Chain A
Amino acid sequence: MTSKERLVIIGNGMAPGRMMDELFERAPGRYEVTVFNAEPRVNYDRIMLSPVLSGEKAYEDIIIHGDQWYADHGVTLHRGEKIVTIDRTAKTVTSDKGTVAAYDKLVIATGSNPFIIPVPGADLPGVITYRDLDDVEKMLEASRTRKRAIVIGGGLLGLEAAAGLKMQGMDVTVIHVMPTLMERQLDPAGGYLLQKAMEDRGIEVRTKANTKAIIGDGHVEGIELASGEIIPADIVVMAVGIRPNTGLAQEAGLACNRGIVVNNAMQTSDGVIFSLGECAEVDGQVYGIVAPLYEMARVLAAHLCDDTSSVFVHADTPTKLKVTGINLFSLGDFGEGDDREEIVLRDATSGVYKRLILKDNRIIGTVLFGDVADGAWFNDLKKKATDISEMRETLIFGQSYQGGAPLDPMAAVAALPDDAEICGCNGICKGKITGAITEKGLTSLDDVRAHTKASASCGTCTGLVEQLMALTLGDTYNPAAVQPMCGCTDLGHDDVRRLIKAKELKSIPAVMQELEWKSSCGCAKCRPALNYYLVCDWPDEYADDYQSRFINERVHANIQKDGTYSVVPRMWGGVTSSKELRAIADVVDKFNIPTVKCTGGQRIDMLGIKKEDLPAVWADLGKAGFVSGQAYAKGLRTVKTCVGTDWCRFGTQDSTGLGIKLEKFMWGSWTPAKVKLAVSGCPRNCAEATCKDVGVVCVDSGFEIHFAGAAGLDIKGTEVLGLVKTEEEALEYIVALTQMYREQGRYLERIYKWAKRIGYDEVRRQIMDDADKRKAYFDRFVFSQKFAQVDPWSERVSGKDKHEFRPMATIGFPEAAE
């Protein structure tokens, strides 16, 4: 056995995460890698915590390396283990849980700690920093039970926290010590516009406000300013800056300054110990955004593979704020000076402000607010130190005004040189993206992200990347542009679902008001969709809006071409009895029902019933024990079964029994589109389980669960979810899968389309591999069934919605006419 070199990494943040990506690409298998992470989780995109806080994303959406990744690359990850000592002589590290790991090479990537201003009360419960997922969870928790938040710090982090808390429904005040917001990235005019934009969202902003103390008895109750003024609050978020986390390195005797001192190969004062990320200091600089950290990652990976040609060089990176709806871009130096000139454009009505700072006819700084489309171009001119005297008159209007080119954003992107930077976070230039698209035949944004990382971090350059795709692929590019739900809104289904949760919208008028619907009360497309989303998300609180349901779901029968209705009672698992059949026969005779038919779903359909007769038909069926078969519902329809071990000589399990259990457990639940199940007793598959939304094929060793089949407008065999041993497990997994679909599916999207969209592996990961998730889905389904599992027929027999089944008036017939 050849022993590999042992690489130990302390910290599992964005910098070492990227470093490992680069390392495994260059030299897969060269090192045996062990990672210690004080946070109890895998590598995730810290930048995207603000969208998680605002509710626009979930934690799952921002994971960079999932469990599978560590397994695939043979990386040992110790989560929730903090390294407490480095023994440089023995070449070992020791964690707070006592784990000892020996290294040949060590990487310190401990990031930063949030700075806490040392005022009285700073240690009170309710004072929260903003650094990791735990902080976000604390804030979300607070937003559910508490009303008022104060954010101390008007920089990037503070403003993102304020916007997120506001979206969670809190009253938010930002306290900033300087006269304008984000003064290190924005000039005063930009800061003023930003303040207005924050105030427009209902966030109070106090500048020149100095915090003297945080007050409260046992928990935060407010803050006291230096002026003596007291502002009440239930939580205080401290976002005043960060300090490189150097403690461990210092104790180990490594050279430290502001950060851990490294050379331009990321090497510390100990030759086998490296450092990168926010904790590292190169050329006297420490960094707090990812672009330079990713550059460090590239350099370190090269050196770990003995490629010494790569060195770290400082570059300016633009700042962008990730608050939905606020566009801001700032780059370089914008201080005033005798040797500097500036060009300013203001358009008060559209809220646009642009300022370029020039020195010797070259751009040295840029501030854009409102319209940031030309950011990449200005960045390029600055980087190349292009002499702009020729285009000075029109420079500020942007690239599309130059050289008589038409005012077309596509033309502007087309005109960018190949080395123009598109993705600031990842330092990806235009040529790299277009090259990858053509060489690797990439056709979707996700592919481009996977192969180049462009737009995969903070995402603000997504638009540019899509334009590049459109340019490179021409007509064959089908942008993932969001398809609006309908003409009443520009938002797509996913955005609407997300915002319903994030903003806790609990009625259709609330959705339409808050999401700025363009029509007064929606249309026949969006109303049923919204009604479903609300039923699904707030099962206990939402009052189902029958006027937003399609007629079939309103009267619980299927409308036919002549305006009559068909009625399909449940026949659990397709099994019936003489008593049931007799009751059906009696109903057919009594109401003169013209057609009785066996459906494709193993039950009996009575067609051609007059609407007025429906309640009486149901009353008679109800007496025989029937409930609605929901043959009309975007909900659970049938569970087909075969005879299984009860009778069949090949049966391996009780397929009929399991089918009936599933149907009894799941009936009544509303879903994005209809859901059909089947259980076959053996792989001969007589119940056709392998073309259903969810199917089970019984085998000797248990139950093989299938999903995402189709046999209607499309034909598609199912995917295998996995094998489970017992009926109880089969039920739990199927119910969890259905709930996952209920929560994520777009209205009218069958399971096979949803699963394809989000990825079959993702479904397997959440349902098969993640027991906590599965249990949580299962529990939410069970909870919602409390409100859904009510037989709609018996409700109507007892008088509900009487008006539906009777004409409002009868006039003009002989007896009524004079």
Chain B
Amino acid sequence: MDWHEIGRIEDIPRRGARCIKTPAGKIGIFRTAEDQVFALEDHCPHKGGPLSQGIVHGGAVTCPLHNMVIDLETGQAMGADQGFVPTIPVRNDNGVLYIGLAASGLMAAE
């Protein structure tokens, strides 16, 4: 796995998200009220909604298209919904953020 530096934690609003572009698709990167940072594929299991545009609350995000709620830590849909979004490892070194991507995953997409 390769670690890629993506910026600093302050670049993401608290209870907010940004997105990262990769050849394999977009990744949503989320910051909670307590400054935990999570990353998910930016693609809702329901109909592909961009999760990074949703409202972040507690450790979850609500999809902007049809309100599915996704657990940021596990990528699982919460409540009565079914579904799963792949999660992406994040490292926080004194405020500098890195995400871990399988090198092969990137190559494959090219």
Partner of B64, one of A521, A551, A807: A551
The reply on A810 being an interface residue by CB < 8 A is yes
Chain A, range 551-579, C-beta contacts under 8 Å to B = 551, 555, 559, 561-563
A 772-818 contacts with B by CB, 8 A: 803, 807-814, 817
Identify the closest chain B residue to A519 (Cβ): B58
Residue of A nearest to B13 (CB): A547
Asked whether A523 and B12 contact (CB < 8 A) given A807-B19, A812-B106, A814-B110, the answer is no
A476 within 8 A of B: no
Would you call B67 and A524 a contact (CB within 8 A)? yes
**A522 at interface by CB-CB < 8 Å:** yes
Q: Mark B73-110, 1 if CB is under 8 A from A, else 0.
A: 00000000000000000000000000101000010011
Within 8 A of B (CB), among A427-486: none
Question: Counting CB contacts under 8 A, is A548 at the interface?
Answer: yes
Q: Given A561-B65, A813-B23 in contact, is the A808-B56 Cβ separation under 8 Å? A: no
Chain A residues within 8 Å of B99, by CB: 811
- CB proximity to A under 8 Å, residues B1-40: 4-7, 11-16, 18-24, 26, 29, 32-34
CA distance A551 to B21 in the complex (A): 19
Contacts known (A547-B55, A812-B23); A524 close to B106, Cβ less than 8 A: no
Please state if B29 and A811 are interface contacts (CB–CB under 8 Å). no
Q: Which residues of B contact A563 (CB under 8 A)?
A: 48-50, 53
B: number of interface residues (CB 8 Å): 42
Q: Are A803 and B64 in contact, CB atoms less than 8 angstroms apart?
A: no
Partner of A519, one of B4, B48, B57: B57
Q: Is the CB of B65 within 8 A of A546?
A: no
Residue numbers in B under 8 Å from A562 (CB-CB) = 48
Q: Does A542 contact B (CB under 8 A)?
A: no
Complex contact A524–B54 (CB within 8 A):
yes
Count of inter-chain pairs, beta carbons less than 8 A: 98
Contact, CB under 8 Å: A520 / B11? no
Q: Provide the residues of chain A in CB contact with B57, threshold 8 Å.
A: 519, 521-524, 527
A550 beta carbon closer than 8 Å to chain B:
yes
- Partner of A809 from the list B15, B20, B33, B110 (CB cut-off 8 Å) is B20
**Measured between alpha carbons, how far is A562 from B53 in the docked complex, in Å?**
12
* Residues A811 and B53 in contact in the complex (CB < 8 Å), given A520-B33, A523-B58, A546-B13: no
A548: contacting residue among B22, B34, B55, CB under 8 A: B55
When distances are taken between beta carbons in the complex, the residues of chain A under 8 Å from B22 are 810-813
Task: Flag if A561 contacts B47 (CB, 8 Å).
Answer: yes
- Is the C-beta of A153 less than 8 angstroms from some C-beta in chain B? no
Closest-by-CB residue of A relative to B60 is: A523
Does chain B have a CB within 8 A of A528? Answer: yes
Tell me whether B16 and A547 are in contact (CB under 8 A): yes
In the complex, which residues of chain A have a beta carbon less than 8 angstroms from the beta carbon of B18? 803, 807-808
- Chain A residues with CB under 8 Å of B50's CB are 559, 563
Is B72's beta carbon under 8 Å from chain A? no
Closest to A559 in B: B64
Closest beta carbon of chain A to B71's beta carbon, Å: 13
Residue of B nearest to A560 (CB): B65
For chain B, what secondary structure do more than half of its interface residues adopt (helix, strand, loop), or is it mixed? mixed
Q: Within 8 Å CB of B33, what residues of A?
A: 520-521
Known: A810-B21, A812-B24, A814-B110. A521 touches B6 (CB 8 A): no
Contact A811 to B11, CB < 8 A, known contacts A520-B33, A523-B58, A547-B55: no
**Cα of A498 to Cα of B50 in the assembled complex, Å:** 36
Whether A807 pairs with B21 at a CB distance below 8 angstroms is yes
Interface size class of A (residues with CB under 8 A): 20 to 34
Judging by beta carbons under 8 Å apart, are B14 and A547 in contact?
yes
Q: Once bound together, how far apart are the Cα atoms of A523 and B15, in whole Å?
A: 11
Tell me the minimal C-beta distance from A796 to chain B in angstroms. Answer: 15
Chain B residues with Cβ under 8 A from A555's Cβ? 53
Bound complex: CA A709 to CA B9 (Å): 48
Q: Which residues of B sit under 8 angstroms from A547, Cβ to Cβ?
A: 13-16, 55-56
Is the beta-carbon distance between A559 and B62 smaller than 8 angstroms?
no
Q: Nearest Cβ distance between residue A112 and chain B, in whole angstroms? A: 53
A559 and B11 within 8 A (CB): no
The answer to whether A811 touches B13 (Cβ under 8 A) is: no
Partner of A808, one of B14, B20, B53: B20
Chain A residues whose C-beta falls within 8 Å of the C-beta of B53 in the assembled complex: 551, 555, 559, 563
A667 to B: closest C-beta gap in Å:
24
Q: CB distance A808 to B55 under 8 Å?
A: no
Contact A809 B13 (CB under 8 A): no
Chain B residues positioned under 8 Å from A520 (CB to CB)? 33-34, 58
What sequence of 0s and 1s flags, for each residue 743-754 of chain A, a beta carbon within 8 Å of any chain B beta carbon?
000000000000
| Cβ-closest chain A residue relative to B53 | A551
The answer to whether B54 touches A551 (Cβ under 8 A) is yes
B34 partner residues in chain A, CB cutoff 8 A: 520
Instruction: Enumerate chain A residues within 8 angstroms of B20, measured Cβ to Cβ.
Output: 807-811
Instruction: Give complex CA distance A181, B7 in Å.
Output: 62
Contact partners of B23 in chain A: CB under 8 A: 812-813
Complex Cα gap A563–B53 (Å): 9
List of B residues within 8 angstroms of A808 by Cβ: 6-7, 11-12, 18-20, 29
A679 to B61, CA, bound (A): 41
Q: Which of A521, A555, A811 has the most CB of B within 10 A?
A: A811
In the docked arrangement, what's the CA distance between A817 and B26, Å? 16
For the complex, give the distance between the alpha carbons of A300 and B56 in Å. Answer: 64
Q: Are B55 and A527 closer than 8 Å at their CB atoms?
A: yes
Interface residues of B (CB under 8 A from A): 4-7, 11-16, 18-24, 26, 29, 32-34, 47-50, 53-58, 62, 64-65, 67, 69, 99, 101, 106, 109-110
Q: A524-B54, A807-B21, A810-B21 given. 20 additional CB < 8 A pairs?
A: A520-B34, A521-B57, A521-B58, A523-B69, A547-B16, A547-B56, A548-B15, A555-B53, A561-B47, A803-B12, A807-B26, A808-B6, A808-B20, A808-B29, A811-B6, A811-B21, A811-B101, A812-B23, A812-B109, A817-B106
16 A-B pairs in the complex with CB atoms less than 8 angstroms apart: A519-B58, A521-B58, A524-B62, A547-B15, A547-B16, A548-B55, A550-B55, A559-B53, A559-B64, A563-B53, A808-B12, A808-B29, A809-B21, A811-B6, A811-B22, A811-B99
The 6 closest A-B CB pairs, nearest first, are A524-B62, A808-B18, A809-B6, A812-B106, A524-B55, A551-B53
